[in-house]
Amino acid sequence: MALTEFSLIQQYFAQQNHKNTSTCLGIGDDCALLSLPAGYQLAITTDTMVEGVHFFAGADPAQLGHKLLAVNLSDLASMGARPVSVTLALTLPTVDAKWLEAFSKGFLKLAEHYNVDLIGGDTTAGPLTLTVQALGLVPEHKALVRSTAKVGDLIYMTGALGDAGLGLKINLGYKCPQPDVALQRFNTPDPQIAVGLSLIDVASACVDISDGLAADLGHILGQSHVGACLDWECLPLSQAVQNYIDETGDCLMPLTAGDDYELCFTVSPDKIAQLHGNYTQIGIIESTPGLRLRKDGVVQALMSKGYEHFS
Ligand code: ADP
Ligand code: MG
């Protein structure tokens, strides 16, 4: 039987029980209602994924559901916010029950993991376009912003660099002997929520690496009116990414490829002792504007341009 817009929402997206204590009213009315605790600010972010731009036509729907939510939660993580709920706007070319089943499972499984409620959205017909708005809570005036890095702060990042970029290359035909980690990082990234929360009162600035380290760190540098030098030898590269570089000579890939969804953050030297976690120090904030890379003893300027949709 053909699904109507209403029954589609009921069947795949309406949760019976809300898990988050902030949710007062979820899917089904004209608006959702949230109750926010005193002493917190609401962090709001939205990200869209368009077929053919952000993902390949025919991409696995369960992985798409996961990634769509993960990229939005990653923005909350980078501000030190705890996610509470999300809305989902779906534009679908057709109502494909199998696709919706897998997509909603991938989406809701990750939502459940982070105690996030799906509280509303919109469903329309058109070219496949997926939009999430994510809401989170952050203690008043404690959010990790981009504009407060200081000269002398050390630059750290979570995880490794370039695996998602390698995953994209593998999808485009690059032959990699051990593709599993790279494909997993590209298809189903993990938002660094716990790290973001732990960095409150510790990090001086933070971004998530969605458009490539050079571009995203560049946002911190621009908004903080500082520069930085990264150390090539310190960059956390997986064996597969190292092999890719050895084979192709493309050492800029891990610095410029997007989709890593790791956090890059700065910490003043007197707060290093408060940093507890498995992070890599990759460079230092300097007064000279711009981003530089020290490689084989030579310091060179690094372009901090990420992917731009209209260029
Ligand atoms: P309205 O016409 O008042 O905007 P809709 O008919 O679009 O309401 O949606 C009905 C209810 O279902 C609303 O509560 C809306 O938030 C929710 N909803 C619609 N689409 C989605 C979706 N893709 N995911 C989650 N909730 C949705
Ligand atoms: Mg509507």
Average pLDDT, the chain: 95
Confidence of residue 309 (pLDDT cuts 50, 70, 90): low
Q: Is the dihedral of CA 189, 193, 198, 203 positive or negative?
A: positive
The rounded Å distance from CA 84 to ligand 1 centre is 18
Looking at residue 108, what is its pLDDT?
Answer: 96
Q: Is 178 exposed, middle or buried (0-12, 13-18, 19+ CB in 10 A)?
A: exposed
- Indicate the top mutation candidate among 92, 123, 128, 132 to test ligand 1's pocket, ranked by most ligand atoms within 8 A of CB: 123
Whether 107 lines ligand 1, by a CB cut-off of 6 Å, is no
**Which-ligand-closest: CA of 121?**
1
**Residue 265, CA distances (Å) to 189, 231, 285 in order:** 18, 15, 11
Task: Give the position of tokens 């089904």.
Answer: 28
Whether 130 lines ligand 1, by a CB cut-off of 6 Å, is no
- pLDDT tens across 260-307, in order? 999 999 999 999 999 999 999 999 999 999 999 999 999 999 976 656
Please state, for a pLDDT cut of 70, what percent of the chain lies above it.
Answer: 97
Looking at residue 199, what is its pLDDT?
Answer: 98
The rounded Å distance from CA 9 to ligand 2 centre is 11
- pTM for this prediction: 0.95
Phi, psi for 240 (deg, rounded to 5):
-65, -40
Say whether pLDDT at 249 is over 90: yes
Tell me the domains of the chain and their CATH numbers.
5-139 (3.30.1330.10), 154-301 (3.90.650.10)
CA angle (246, 251, 254) in 5-degree steps:
115
Protein residue closest via CA to atom 18 of ligand 1: 121
Task: Give the position of tokens 């534009």.
Answer: 91
Protein residue closest via CA to atom 20 of ligand 1: 122
